[in-house]
Structure 1
């Protein structure tokens, strides 16, 4: 009975370690929200905070909305600076404060292209960088900015549709990999239920401990490699 309880707790710990927020995101949240927050608030933030992949997805979606809104404002006859300011205000960005330099440059006649490039996040900011290049071409060459922005929006929508299709195709392999990673813990549960005392061997002897460490290492490497391949396929 004790072996079954320990195996159950081990399974729960494995699931938590796999689904827990990553360390860089936790550090970033502490820097942004402060370190003097109550513990329950920090826990709630960790559970509801979007992952890095989710933040990149939100930025890509917001970039598409920005291009569409900007194209509509330009087609309505507004000046580029006014159109960009109104378009940014109408879009819900994951971190709207990072676009303040862009709004200031658009209002004051500054370098909007450079502001867009510097405000674009490393992950998910390709839409803003393309818009910056489009803005630079429109200002330098004098090409129709509305048509260029609409072309950028079309490109971003096509790329987003491709990523969603790839993610849907990778959902099955991801689920299979996670299921296979949990099977050793299920094997421990079954062995404990049959009164075979697997933990006595794994934790009570040197060969068992070596088998346990090797199994955990191989399991973790398999999960990491599967996730790495899936992430590379989506980029």
Structure 2
């Protein structure tokens, strides 16, 4: 019985070694799977990376909400430090940890204006910087903090409405530019459907390759110039 079991196991091992993958194939499969995993991780990070424009808009909206909440807390009779602390905790900022120095300065009687300026991001932090200037004026001169915060909130709302209006007006030109940039590809498809063999001319001859290079360069320059003008107009 024992010899029969050993013989059966030996036969199974021999069959597996004969028909199974070799060591090189196994290693290659492991390397390929590891490489695909790394590529998938890189693609996931790229897709989940926040858009700077959307992040800036989120900061601007949060700054408006902060001014409105701060004005309400000041109108309720709270001190400026308590009102700012409660207002910050009630607003959902994109990066809440950046405002921890502001909360600490408001609670401990520190330089709140400097903390607001330091916490403001480069893009979308205009509201916090204006609030810092308002805070500095209110504490130094002794002006009405509620009135100053209301003016800042009104200014931010007006600027936000203006940006939305400009973005809506620029949506049409941007779409038109993208459609014009895709027209050469549509022309190639139509020429191919007519059995004119445009790719043979573009890739098979020097004049065709020069035309292809010039056309692609002009197409890219047109897209870049349109995007630049739209971004400059929106900013």
TM-score if structure 2 supplies the norm length? 0.81
- Report which of the two structures shows the higher radius of gyration computed on alpha carbons: 2
The residue that corresponds to 1:206 in the other structure is 206
Q: Distance in 2 between matches of 1:99 and 1:38?
A: 35
Q: Distance in 2 between matches of 1:211 and 1:162?
A: 43
- Count of residue pairs brought into register by the alignment: 199
Q: Distance in 2 between matches of 1:182 and 1:150?
A: 48
Q: Does 1:53 find its partner at 2:66? A: no
Q: Distance in 1 between matches of 2:227 and 2:191?
A: 29
For residues 171-214 of structure 1, give each alpha carbon's deviation from its aligned partner in whole angstroms, at most 9, with x where no partner exists. 11110000000111111111112221111111122221221111
How far the C-alpha of 1:43 sits from its partner, in A, is 2.4
The residue that corresponds to 2:193 in the other structure is 193
TM-score if structure 1 supplies the norm length? 0.81
How far the C-alpha of 1:55 sits from its partner, in A, is 1.3
Structure 2 gap segments, 5+ residues each: 1-36
The residue that corresponds to 2:183 in the other structure is 183
Structure 1 gap segments, 5+ residues each: 1-36
The residue that corresponds to 1:127 in the other structure is 127
* Aligned-residue CA RMSD (Å): 1.5
How far the C-alpha of 1:48 sits from its partner, in A, is 4.0
The residue that corresponds to 2:74 in the other structure is 74
| Partner SS, residue 122 of structure 1 | coil
Q: Distance in 1 between matches of 2:178 and 2:110?
A: 50
For residues 75-103 of structure 1, give each alpha carbon's deviation from its aligned partner in whole angstroms, at most 9, with x where no partner exists. 11111111111111111111112111111
For residues 34-87 of structure 1, give each alpha carbon's deviation from its aligned partner in whole angstroms, at most 9, with x where no partner exists. xxx954344234324332211111111111011001111111111111111111
How far the C-alpha of 1:215 sits from its partner, in A, is 1.0
Runs of 4+ residues over 6 Å off in structure 1: none
Written as runs of structure 1 = structure 2, the 5 A alignment for 1:1-235 is 39-235=39-235
